[in-house]
Amino acid sequence: MKRRSFSHLFAALVVSAVGVLAMPAHATEETADAFIKRLSTEVLNSIKADKSIQSGDVSKIVALVDTLVMPNVDFKRMTASAVGPKWRQATPEQQQRLQEEFKILLVRTYAGALSQVNSVTFNVKPMRSGPDDKEVVVRTEIQGRGDPIQLDYRLEKTPGVGSGWKVYNLNVLGVWLVDTYRSQFAQEINAKGIDGLIATLAERNKANAQKG
């Protein structure tokens, strides 16, 4: 029995390795955890290769996010989920502005952490999900100095689009990003409407930019 389970493991390893290597040809067959692993490695490598990103150059970071990260994120869904039921009442222009401002706010959130990536390694934890699951959670752990940092992703299957997976929520140390903004956004919308929320976000981003 032992030998059989070992050969299963070996087969799984071979299959996943082939999956990663054959990526461009069979993009949709990539598993969610392999996808996260590839994406994290790509992002980490391009940060390590660029000193100005490590020193916190926000325009460079935004460019990196736009080219590498955003194509793999369902940002419309993230923003819609943070805004809540009022999202449907927003015009397409308002939805566009909300996404744009929210993105800049989030990029700011993580820009500061990027200076420390040189000393980190990450590992993807084993995943518990069936092959037909449309939405999965991939758990990873970042090991730097000090205690490991929990970093989880929620992904949706997007057959035939991009890599076949898109991230729609992110969990840092047990805190889901989108959920943390939900009450704050609701507060703003209740007080000042959707345009009020857009204005508040834009104002905050401007203030952050001046702080440097």
| Residues that bind other proteins in the complex, under the rule CB under 8 A | 1, 4, 105-106, 108-109, 112, 139, 146-147, 150, 173-176, 179-188, 190, 200-201, 204, 207-208, 211
Would you list the DSSP string of 34-93? HHHHHHHHHHHHHHHT-HHHHTT-HHHHHHHIIIIIGGGB-HHHHHHHHHGGGGGGS-HH
Element (H, E) at 101: helix 92-111
Toward other proteins, which CB reaches closer, 157 or 204? 204
Q: Look up residue 162 and give its two tokens.
A: 């991009």
Min dist. Cβ of residue 58 to other proteins (A): 11
Q: Which is nearer to other proteins, 40 or 200 (CB)?
A: 200
Q: In terms of CB distance, is 88 or 211 closer to other proteins?
A: 211
Question: Minimum distance between the CB of residue 183 and other proteins, rounded to whole angstroms?
Answer: 5
- At which residue do the structure tokens 């952050």 appear? 208
CB nearer to other proteins: pick between 67 and 121: 121
CB of 188 to other proteins, least distance (A): 6
In the complex, the smallest distance separating the C-beta of residue 5 from other proteins, rounded to whole angstroms, is 8
Supply the minimum distance, in Å, between the C-beta of residue 208 and other proteins.
5
Q: How far is the CB of 209 from other proteins (least distance, A)?
A: 10
Q: Helix, strand or coil for residue 157?
A: strand
126-161 per-residue burial string, b: 16 or more CB within 10 A, e: under 16:
eeeeeeeeeebbbbbebeeeeeeeebbbbbbeeeee
Element (H, E) at 197: helix 177-211
HSE-CB for 49 with a 13 A CA cutoff: 7
For residue 73, give the nearest of 9, 161, 7, 2 by alpha carbon.
Answer: 161
Query: In the numeric block, which tokens belong to residue 102?
Result: 């929210």
Closer Cβ to other proteins, 43 or 186, answer by number: 186
Q: Which is nearer to other proteins, 70 or 175 (CB)?
A: 175
